[in-house]
Amino acid sequence: MIADRGGASRHGAQNPAYSPVADIYDMADVVITGAARINGAVRLPGDKSLSHRCALLGAVADGNSTIENYSGGADCQSSLRCVEALGVTVERDPETPGKITIHGVGLHGLREPRERLDAGNSGSTLRMLSGILAAQPFASSIGGDASLSRRPMRRIMAPLTGMGARIEAEEGGLPPLRYSPSPGLHGISYALPVASAQVKSAILFAGLYAQGTTQVTEPVPTRDHSEVLLRAMGVPLRRGRHLELAGPVERLAPLQKFFVPGDPSSAAFFLCAAAALPESDLLISDVSLNPTRSALLDVLARMGAKPAVASIEEQSGELVGSLHLEGPRQRLTGTTIAGAEAAALIDEIPILAVLATATRDGIEFRDVAELRVKESDRLCAIAENLRAMGAQCDEREDGLFVPGQQTLRGGTIASHGDHRIAMAFAIAGLLAEGQTLIGDAGCASVSYPGFFSDLKRLTDQ
């Protein structure tokens, strides 16, 4: 058992005694102490990537889409609020959290918003919705919070303007983005310079409205949720060396009782904790097992952990199942993550960097410069916080090396308002000696509102 200790709240008062994770979740700061294990079962919030796409495509479907286990995270709620501002009715079932009905208005039924659309902190909302807004016969604009307003959007502006869209941005391609009606979009053959499922999706969504064939070539394969949903909604999307969509599309069929599986990027925090704590026994149910999202399982297995698929089935084109992981008896080996694998694991790099400290040989990360333009400069934030916990790391322009066999010490962690940094270093707190204060821990609600509650339950032995 972990000894109870007091922890400071954001108001400076001492919290009541607690074991590993502080009991007060509505505070800006959370205090965590070391744990011997992750033990128990958890059901995760709906996958963030799929939830966004269900909201955006459901809005322009021809009829009502019923979505179950829609993510309650703030980012995905931003997508819902944006489509509502465009004249789409969204019903939320008060008896069943995560169950919504989207009353789709068809591809040409959106209305001009009364004011600027607010994507909050969600780059996913802004990027993918841009593909739809660029094709509308009315003017609109979309922005977000201070963090999102610092994230360049040139990578979506380039292909969309190449299709005939009229888009203006602030200096440097920064939000807010402003769209003017164009004479009409046309298909484009576009090779993505950097792998991005969101940019790919924005182009495909614009392609629904465009005259002619829209063709997208990826440098490496990225998550394919948009393709799965488009096919489920009746779009004859061709996949080979390129993705091809013939437009304009007349209609999208609504989604019938679509279940959003648990978010594998959220699962990563618990899986890596279980892989680092040898007494762990973890079961994650109803999680996405989409092959384009399984790279973490491959990496953990390569390093000596043994994640097992306990069950699997196909639902609406997506693989869903349960994962089981027992803490390994020996310290994990190290590895290198680069190239296509780095692109597939871009959201999991922060927690893998934490796990690296508990491995034998450490982990080297290459080709992850994309992390510098996320909710924070994640490479810098990872390095800064590892050093605050007494660890060594080598931060590079497009990567990071974190040596293994390091003992973490409790410290004060700056989340930088970034949900993945907050959650990754909460796990670091479980591995550390002493207590760790996660500043602005509430930002975890961007993707996983119940994270600290679930973490407490899984460690409160």
For a pLDDT cut of 70, what percent of the chain falls above it?
94
Sign, CA dihedral 117-122-123-125, equals negative
* Confidence grade of residue 274 (pLDDT, cut at 50, 70, 90): very high
More confident residue, 182 or 62: 62
Residues 266 and 177 in one domain: no
CATH no. for residue 299? 3.65.10.10
Which tokens belong to 454?
A: 């679930």
pLDDT mean across residues, the chain: 92
Residues 254 and 294 in one domain: no
Residues 289 and 242 in one domain: no
Does residue 411 lie in a domain region? Answer: yes
Q: In terms of C-beta density within 10 A (0-12 exposed, 13-18 middle, 19 or more buried), how is residue 248 classed?
A: middle
Give the pLDDT confidence of 29-40 residue by residue, as tens digits: 899 999 999 999
Residues 362 and 435 in one domain: yes
Question: What range defines the domain where residue 89 resides?
Answer: 48-258
Give the pLDDT confidence of 255-273 residue by residue, as tens digits: 989 999 999 999 999 999 9
Collapsing DSSP to helix, strand or coil, 11 comes out as coil
User: Of the candidates 227, 258, 289, which is a domain's last residue?
Assistant: 258
- Flag whether pLDDT at 22 surpasses 60: no
Residues 199 and 250 in one domain: yes
Residues 406 and 284 in one domain: yes
Does residue 16 lie in a domain region? Answer: no
Residues 173 and 271 in one domain: no
* Confidence grade of residue 241 (pLDDT, cut at 50, 70, 90): confident
Supply φ then ψ for residue 122, to 5 degrees. -95, 100
In the prediction, which pLDDT does 112 show? 98
Give the pLDDT confidence of 386-444 residue by residue, as tens digits: 999 999 999 999 999 999 999 999 999 999 999 999 999 999 999 999 999 999 999 99
Number of domains in the chain: 2
* Confidence grade of residue 315 (pLDDT, cut at 50, 70, 90): confident
Does residue 376 lie in a domain region? Answer: yes
Residues 35 and 152 in one domain: no
- Flag whether pLDDT at 296 surpasses 50: yes
Does residue 2 lie in a domain region? Answer: no
- Flag whether pLDDT at 27 surpasses 80: no
Residues 316 and 348 in one domain: yes
Strand 318-326 versus strand 281-288 pairing type: antiparallel
Does residue 25 lie in a domain region? Answer: no
Q: What is d(CA 391, CA 389) in angstroms, rounded to the nearest whole number?
A: 6
Residues 53 and 172 in one domain: yes
- Flag whether pLDDT at 107 surpasses 70: yes
Does residue 242 lie in a domain region? Answer: yes
Residues 360 and 394 in one domain: yes
Does residue 5 lie in a domain region? Answer: no
Give the pLDDT confidence of 64-105 residue by residue, as tens digits: 999 999 999 999 999 999 999 999 999 999 999 999 999 999
User: Of the candidates 258, 279, 295, which is a domain's last residue?
Assistant: 258
Does residue 12 lie in a domain region? Answer: no
Give the pLDDT confidence of 49-73 residue by residue, as tens digits: 999 999 999 999 999 999 999 999 9
User: Of the candidates 258, 293, 312, which is a domain's last residue?
Assistant: 258
The amino acid at 269? F
- Flag whether pLDDT at 6 surpasses 50: no
Which tokens belong to 187?
A: 């298909």
What is the largest distance, in Å, between two alpha-carbon atoms of the chain? 67
- Cis geometry, peptide bond prior to residue 16 (ω within 30 degrees of 0): no
The predicted model scores a pTM of: 0.89
- Flag whether pLDDT at 445 surpasses 50: yes
Residues 161 and 298 in one domain: no
Q: List, by residue number, the catalytic residues.
A: 347
